[in-house]
Structure 1
Amino acid sequence: MPDPTATEALGRFVAASRWEELPPALRHEAKRALLNHIGCALGVARDPAVRGALRVMRGLGGRVEATVFGQGARLDVMGAAFVNAVAGNLLDYDDTHLDTVIHPAAPVAPPALALAEQRGLSGAAALHALLLGGEVACRIGLAVSPGHYDRGWHITSTCGTFGAAATAAKLLGLDAAQVAAAIGIASSEAAGTVENLPTAAKNVGVGNAARQGILAALFAAEGWEAAAQAIEGRLGWARAAGDAADPAAIAAGLGERWEIARNTYKPYPAGIVFHAVIDACLELRARPGLVPEAIDSVTVAGDALLLARGDRPVRNARDARVSIHHAAALGLLRGRASVAEFEAAAVEDPALAAFRARVRAVRDETLPRGAARVTLRLLDGRSAEATVLTPRGSEARPLSDAELEAKFRENAALGGFADRAAAQIAAIWALDAAPDVAGLMALLA
């Protein structure tokens, strides 16, 4: 029998995986990912983009079977997954797998909860499907990184579609061949571009990843097939969407080494590559005698991804979340970087705008991805420098469960759900023992 293709290997892996056989730490990570995702979604419950997505999906929907977080509304499964994925990713406050820069939970957690709610499945089943979908997304992402993103593909939207397909296929109880087919069908759906990141079109891509993944699994359940090498074939998705793909990265150590276990959670609502910039600036600001008024200019050094993502003019809140200049200004001038510091009022603050103009970005390939060096030139001729290789929230310095809970409460308060936060947190931590997800979804409604 020939060796399985990478697509087939993923199908076998997903179909054969058993929740009770996973390491306890990995099972706990599923709850951490869900806690972070739901908190981020609740924080933007009042945002016009989320309300607009709800109106659009409500107009398109079928049977009302799944809860939309924080909206007092239910939609069809694919509509609810779309809106919840948009909400979870909107603030750029969600989880990140740094090697691929994928935000795994946004495209996979909403299908997991929506399908589990529709079908009366257990909390453990939803968490298990979330883990498997995140793993599939990250492994396919490894196969096409960094060229895929560099060519302009928004990797959360593209690889997230494969992850959502795997999540949905697991919850539908598909066999190995059907799971592989679902992933292959998803290769005909995966899309999203980096050019659209400063606009709401980015969120359409993330919402579609969740929605289209469910669709792919439903077609596979109906017997639809896909090419055995839909991902890695000569004319498959990986080659079409990147430069030099590495299909071996998909199956290497599959089931033994978990990429989703390397997921990280953000302390700041900005692109993860800007966290080291913020940390370095906060460190400099805390030094005795180093006040913002004494700074003449700021130089931020980082790798190619940092500059490609963040060396941009800041015109709106979306720009601010992916701006080197705004990140540095917040750390040095305001000394904080909470959600409010990335909203329109902060973007339009004359003091922040003037400070952003003092910031210059330079490339330094000796710095690893996610790191930054900030150098200040002071008005009196002195200089000061700080380098951050492992920012807070990174794999080397992860947020604790308590810090994730505090982040959840902050987001819940922003969305108007402070009074429910404690119960929501408790329900998420206990979800693996719950016979279904109905209790959690009632709290989120």
Structure 2
Amino acid sequence: MADLSATLAEFVHRPPALPEGVRAAGRRSLLNMVGTAIGGSGETAIDKLAALLPVFSGPATATLIGRPERGDMLWAAYINAASANIFDNDDTHIPTVIHPSAPVAPALLALAETLASRGRPVGGDALIEALVLGMEITCRLGNAVHPVHYARGWHITSTCGVFGAAMAAGRLLGLSPQQLVDALGHALAQGAGSVETLGTMSKSLSVGQAARGGLMAALLAADGYTGPEAPLEGQRGFLALHSDAPDHAALTGELGTRWEILNNTFKPYPCGVVLNPVIEACLALHARGGFDAADIASVELTGHPLLRQRTDRPGVTSGRLAQVSAQHAVAVSLLRGRADLAAFSDEAVADPQLRAFGDKLLFRDDPTYRLDAVEVRLRLTDGSAVLHHVAAAAGGLDHPMSDADLAGKFRTQIEWRRLPLDGDALIAALANIEGAADGAAFLRATQTNYRDEQGESPS
């Protein structure tokens, strides 16, 4: 085994004790992921994926979060990951813009639930440990290839997330260091994803595939399926393939003492993370009152260049495209004072006033701005101007969402889907998951119309 791959494999095989703050971050990440999966579970794209289950699925051992169907563990991992990501409401690792829990947690949950069905339940403490380790590998790989990787158009959540899912599942399966290196090789063989798909149904396919592919990688390795010796650092391995100058130190430096999950954040709005400060500013301007669309000549956004590069999308025609459109985000938050799931729906996009208002948007690139900062300047038809500056948006590292905020966000996902789920009970179960003998048992309470083998609903 070569150095980098072997080092990460050894880290996952024999991890240090996780500090409580790191474990708490893992629990928060899991809560957010389950909530966003509930929120996205009824989207048309997820319906279409679930319709494939009877054709391709094996024995139904795992939950489809927020849905009545069950599936085999590979399909459950796939669909739950796609559900968690589809509304762009998932978590964000600020240095890389990776959404790390979406590919990792669903793979773990599907595996843990399947193991429990075979009489081998996984404790909640082991589940959180594996989640943290998988997210750590995902984010460190992102650090090693950022920014070239993302700038080339790779969907970094998926391309790095498949490795994290493999390592997390491998930890639960008790893989040896050599088997974990093999799993990294199998993940290398399956990684994919392009930002060209943002705003379309295709986008969440690669996130689902990262979860399923990572889980499959670990299962294959457990069965003795072998892979390359140096899947990460090899001459044609992941690092060389995806970056001109990969940062090896970012991958292994301070491993086990510096935790990337502490750089993970949670979005208050269901859209691309670079739009969070824009929405915050526009909501603040709306709250001042007195602005009519006819009175505004233009809206100038000054921010990091990535804001324009990823969100300059006028005339969007679907809710999914609206999630990555500054034109729509500005119009709906400034004129309607809204930034909830309904604000990024197909119905909201069809509003003719919002569509017309998007033409007034102008971008000003300023590379000195952070991703979570923006200045929004309204130039009015009477010649005056009004502005609002956000130095560090809510939901970022400087102003993280509180536990109460995350719980509120979780409840809104259930309300959006109009599901008869007990949100408070689920929140409590996830907060106390590390004391559970079966860490996946809570999943039954996320499923609509669930019946166990005896035909009984879960208590």
Fold equivalence (TM over 0.5): yes
Contact 2:181–2:231, Cα closer than 8 Å, also in 1 = no
| Deviation readout 1:416-443 (Å, 9 max, x if unpaired) | 2354211111111111100003530221
Q: Does 2:95 align with 1:93?
A: no
Q: Distance in 2 between matches of 1:63 and 1:359?
A: 52
Q: Distance in 1 between matches of 2:440 and 2:332?
A: 41
State the partner residue of 1:238.
239
The one-letter code of the counterpart of 1:377 is R
Q: Does 2:297 align with 1:296?
A: yes
Q: Does 2:80 align with 1:78?
A: no
Q: Distance in 1 between matches of 2:365 and 2:353?
A: 26
SS of corresponding position for 2:331: helix
Greater mean deviation of Cα atoms: 37-46 or 101-110: 37-46
SS of corresponding position for 1:286: helix
State the partner residue of 2:422.
420
Q: Does 2:179 align with 1:181?
A: no
In structure 1, the gaps of 5 or more residues are none
Per-residue deviation at 1:398? 0.5
Per-residue deviation at 1:289? 4.9
Per-residue deviation at 1:290? 4.9
State the partner residue of 2:3.
5
The one-letter code of the counterpart of 1:427 is A
State which of 106, 109, 113 in structure 2 corresponds to 1:110: 106
Greater mean deviation of Cα atoms: 263-272 or 370-379: 370-379
The one-letter code of the counterpart of 1:435 is A
| Deviation readout 1:318-371 (Å, 9 max, x if unpaired) | 111001111111221111200000001111101111111111122111212232
State the partner residue of 2:31.
35
Instruction: Give 1:33-432 correspondences, 5 Å limit.
Output: 33-119=29-115, 120-287=121-288, 289-290=290-291, 292-313=293-314, 314-432=316-434
Per-residue deviation at 1:232? 2.2
Per-residue deviation at 1:288? 6.2
Q: Distance in 2 between matches of 1:165 and 1:214?
A: 5
The one-letter code of the counterpart of 2:11 is F
The one-letter code of the counterpart of 1:75 is G
| Deviation readout 1:223-268 (Å, 9 max, x if unpaired) | 2333333112222122212332212210011111011121101100
Q: Distance in 2 between matches of 1:418 and 1:365?
A: 46
Greater mean deviation of Cα atoms: 221-230 or 328-337: 221-230
The one-letter code of the counterpart of 2:379 is R
Q: Quote the RMSD (CA, aligned, Å).
A: 1.6
Contact 1:292–1:332, Cα closer than 8 Å, also in 2 = no
| Deviation readout 1:116-144 (Å, 9 max, x if unpaired) | 11111111222111111111000001111
Per-residue deviation at 1:202? 1.2
Contact 1:6–1:248, Cα closer than 8 Å, also in 2 = no
TM-score under structure 2 length normalisation: 0.93
Q: Distance in 2 between matches of 1:306 and 1:54?
A: 34
Q: Distance in 1 between matches of 2:167 and 2:421?
A: 35
The one-letter code of the counterpart of 1:394 is G
SS of corresponding position for 2:388: strand
Q: Distance in 2 between matches of 1:288 and 1:83?
A: 42
In structure 2, the gaps of 5 or more residues are 116-120, 448-459
Greater mean deviation of Cα atoms: 247-256 or 81-90: 247-256
Q: Distance in 1 between matches of 2:214 and 2:418?
A: 31
Contact 1:97–1:260, Cα closer than 8 Å, also in 2 = yes
Contact 2:77–2:208, Cα closer than 8 Å, also in 1 = yes
Per-residue deviation at 1:114? 1.0
Q: Distance in 1 between matches of 2:289 and 2:322?
A: 28
Name the CA shift for 1:370/1:124 in 2 (closer, same or farther; >3 Å): same
| Deviation readout 1:143-178 (Å, 9 max, x if unpaired) | 111111111110111101011101110111012222
The one-letter code of the counterpart of 1:345 is E
Per-residue deviation at 1:185? 2.0
Q: Distance in 2 between matches of 1:396 and 1:335?
A: 24
SS of corresponding position for 1:425: helix
Greater mean deviation of Cα atoms: 134-143 or 119-128: 119-128
Greater mean deviation of Cα atoms: 337-346 or 373-382: 373-382
Share of identical aligned residues, percent? 44
Contact 2:157–2:207, Cα closer than 8 Å, also in 1 = yes
Q: Distance in 2 between matches of 1:174 and 1:36?
A: 28
SS of corresponding position for 2:245: coil
What is the number of equivalent residue pairs in this alignment? 441
The one-letter code of the counterpart of 1:114 is A
Q: Distance in 2 between matches of 1:36 and 1:132?
A: 17
Q: Distance in 1 between matches of 2:324 and 2:243?
A: 23
SS of corresponding position for 1:140: helix
Contact 1:144–1:245, Cα closer than 8 Å, also in 2 = yes
The one-letter code of the counterpart of 1:300 is L
Contact 1:329–1:356, Cα closer than 8 Å, also in 2 = yes
